[in-house]
Amino acid sequence: METTTNPQTETLGYWAVQAIQKHLEKVISHESEVLKDHDPEELHQMRVAMRRLRSAVVGFAPVLKLPESAEDQKIGRIARRLGKLRDLDVLLEILQNTYYSQLPPSEQDILDKILIDWIKQRHKAFRVVEWSLEHKIYQNLKEDLQDWIKEPSFTTLEALPINEVLPDLLLPQISHLFLHPGWQVGINQDPVNSAEITSETLEIILDQQGESLHDLRKQAKKVRYQMSLFTNFYSSKYSTYLEDIKAIQEHLGDIQDSMVLMEKIADKIPSKIRSKLPTFINLLAEKRYESWQKWQSLQQRYLKAENRQEFRLELLNPVIETGNR
């Protein structure tokens, strides 16, 4: 296979700058619309871009000398403030657009009061985001990174060929993912007495081990963001693995969103929630079970040692194809 050989565009330093510039520009492109607060999708896209920017900073950390204002922790602080507002948007969207119309009037009346309270919370969360985007922490981050992109500063690793060091960048994150205890949630260690997990059994499992699945989802998200930086350097098989990681994140995310929605509503109705909202509770359980079944197929695939090994081998063999730019 013919490969490119331009030494200036195949270095670790070059691709670090490309990644940071791409995601910073994406962050900035959504800023004004987020402040107008007309479309929740703008906030979502800015939050994703901020997370991807943070992922690039972390992923390329060995080669970067960034200004103090662009440290991982400071990017994370801004991202979390965006996240709190986005989380409320997700709760409101799911409740209003997915479940509300399927509920009887008696349950809608109960949820109307909760929706009003969440809208008030969202207003306060937006004010925090508004303040954050006007604050010097964000402004310094943006301006200092723009200046750094024009004249980047690196460690001595700058000139390393990107295709030679990619496995060293990617494999540690994959190791953390594969060693996460969340993969074992719902797995019966006794095949003789194993039984199919029912919707009822799933609720018990999630009550006891749901936090482990949530943490696995967060690890999958980190891997997804880091892998997405390097799709130009691998075959289509790499993209297939990346799609699997995305699906893992989404299915576990659907389970988590459903659990959080129920918990937030339970906080407002501390007693007899099942008798007051039986239809709603059943719909949530059905959604969790549907998402669980989708997750299970991926769980079973990657619990097989040969599949994990094939994944690792793909990461060990980057290829830079001519014309990929």
Confidence at residue 161, expressed as pLDDT on a 0 to 100 scale: 92
Q: How many CA atoms lie within 13 A of 178 on its CB side?
A: 18
3-state DSSP assignment of residue 161: strand
SS3 content of the chain, % helix, strand, coil (to 5): 80, 0, 20
With cut-offs at 50, 70 and 90, classify the pLDDT of residue 195: low
Measured distance CA(127)–CA(265) in Å, rounded: 23
Burial label, 138 (beta-carbon count in 10 A; 0-12, 13-18, 19+): buried
Question: What is the maximal distance between C-alpha atoms in the chain?
Answer: 68
Measured distance CA(221)–CA(215) in Å, rounded: 10
What would the pLDDT profile of 220-268 be if each residue is shown by its tens digit?
Answer: 999 999 999 899 899 999 999 999 999 999 999 999 999 999 999 988 8
Measured distance CA(128)–CA(10) in Å, rounded: 41
What would the pLDDT profile of 36-60 be if each residue is shown by its tens digit?
Answer: 999 999 999 999 999 999 999 998 9
With cut-offs at 50, 70 and 90, classify the pLDDT of residue 321: low
What is the phi/psi pair of residue 272, to 5°? 60, 35
Measured distance CA(203)–CA(298) in Å, rounded: 20
Residue 64: DSSP 8-state? B
pLDDT surpasses 70 at 5: no
Confidence at residue 274, expressed as pLDDT on a 0 to 100 scale: 86
Measured distance CA(6)–CA(238) in Å, rounded: 23
Pick from 124, 86, 94, 89: nearest CA to 111: 94
pLDDT surpasses 90 at 322: no
- The pLDDT > 70 percentage for the chain reads 93
Residue 197: DSSP 8-state? P
Measured distance CA(83)–CA(38) in Å, rounded: 17
Residues shown for the chain: 325
Burial label, 264 (beta-carbon count in 10 A; 0-12, 13-18, 19+): middle
pLDDT surpasses 80 at 207: yes
What would the pLDDT profile of 94-126 be if each residue is shown by its tens digit?
Answer: 999 999 999 999 999 999 999 999 999 999 999
Contact, 91 vs 256, CB < 8 A? Answer: no
pLDDT surpasses 70 at 199: yes
Confidence at residue 69, expressed as pLDDT on a 0 to 100 scale: 92
